[in-house]
Amino acid sequence: MEKRFLGKTGLEVSVIGFGGIPIQKLDKEKAIDLIKELSIQGINFIDTARGYTVSEELIGYGLEKVGRDKFVLATKSMARDYEGMKNEIETSLNNLKTKCIDLYQLHNVRTEAEYDNIIGEDGALKALEESKAEGKIKHIGITSHDLNILEKAIESGYFETIQFPYNPVERQAEELFERANKLGMGVIVMKPLAGGAIINAALSLRFVLENSNISSAIPGMDSIEQIKENAKVGNEYKRLSDAEREIILAEAKDLGTEFCRRCGYCAPCPQGIDIPVQFLMEGYYSRYNLKDWAKERYTSFTNKASDCIECGQCETRCPYDLPIRKMLKKVVNILG
């Protein structure tokens, strides 16, 4: 597996990492099998979060079986204050069954007010710095979906890594990545497959890795087959041909800007609608010539887009500020 340095941290990470969101859907034994397969395929970078329900615990079981020393381990928390972050770090250490976490990140910082709280006198950054001094964590990072927030973070000198979405559709951070790299910061890419919206997965990953400012891309994976397919990109890496680049850029153009990355932050819906799945079915129907299958699947759902009461709770949680209510209406118009 090709490896790159995570900025000036000294950590050498696989260019394909493991995104820990989907593992929360598995049971303990299947989760352990996934962690074993990561080691077999040469993937040494794992990224999870306190907010991914049981993801940390399941990864912890896998680390216990496979060996903590085989992985560079990253997690993150939404805590913004000192006491909250101190507690979160202890929980993460316990869940992951480790004495030290390689990278602890501030998770999804969305507003300047949040950022100011974090770096304030009783903010979460103070707790992270103390834990680093105590040897409980090695490095401090930050994740966001807002370019302005990460621009401030990069210039602050507080953080050693950043994490931001990047794929053939979402390329707005390219200059920011270059600046971070020049300052010696590690650059971690979330959503390298646009949350599963991109069908040509290998081409998308290769597109991402062509950017030399990027340290690692972390697609979410919940099966051994996905691990093998994605790891192959790092194990047999080659740049895109002109024809392949045309294919992946055409797909990106077709997706447009209003599409769901399936991050799940919109949940829970008060009406029990699995919102990302509604958009997935519409995508299969509209873009991938699976009309009958998508219609049949959609019709079988107990709760579907037509049950939306337009309360708007989902939109307040969406890190991409998508007009979810409008998008659900489109699903209803197409699928019923």
| Residue 265 appears among annotated catalytic residues | no
The label of the residue with tokens 């559709």 reads 169
Interatomic CA distance for residues 316 and 82, integer angstroms: 25
Cα 66 off chain centre by: 23
Sheet strands (E) in the chain: 3-5, 12-14, 18-19, 45-47, 72-77, 101-106, 137-143, 161-165, 186-190, 216-217
Count of Cβ atoms closer than 10 Å to residue 250 Cβ: 11
Interatomic CA distance for residues 259 and 280, integer angstroms: 9
Interatomic CA distance for residues 63 and 270, integer angstroms: 36
Interatomic CA distance for residues 114 and 120, integer angstroms: 10
Interatomic CA distance for residues 42 and 17, integer angstroms: 9
Interatomic CA distance for residues 260 and 293, integer angstroms: 20
The label of the residue with tokens 């009958």 reads 292
The label of the residue with tokens 């100011």 reads 116
Helices (H) and strands (E) in the chain, counts: 14, 10
Count of Cβ atoms closer than 10 Å to residue 12 Cβ: 13
Interatomic CA distance for residues 263 and 66, integer angstroms: 28
Interatomic CA distance for residues 133 and 126, integer angstroms: 11
Interatomic CA distance for residues 89 and 94, integer angstroms: 9
Q: Looking at the DSSP assignment, which residues form a beta bridge with residue 12?
A: 5
**Which residues, in sequence order, are CB contacts of 125 under 8 Å at separation 6+?**
106, 118, 119, 140, 158
Interatomic CA distance for residues 106 and 142, integer angstroms: 5
Q: Which residues are catalytic?
A: 52
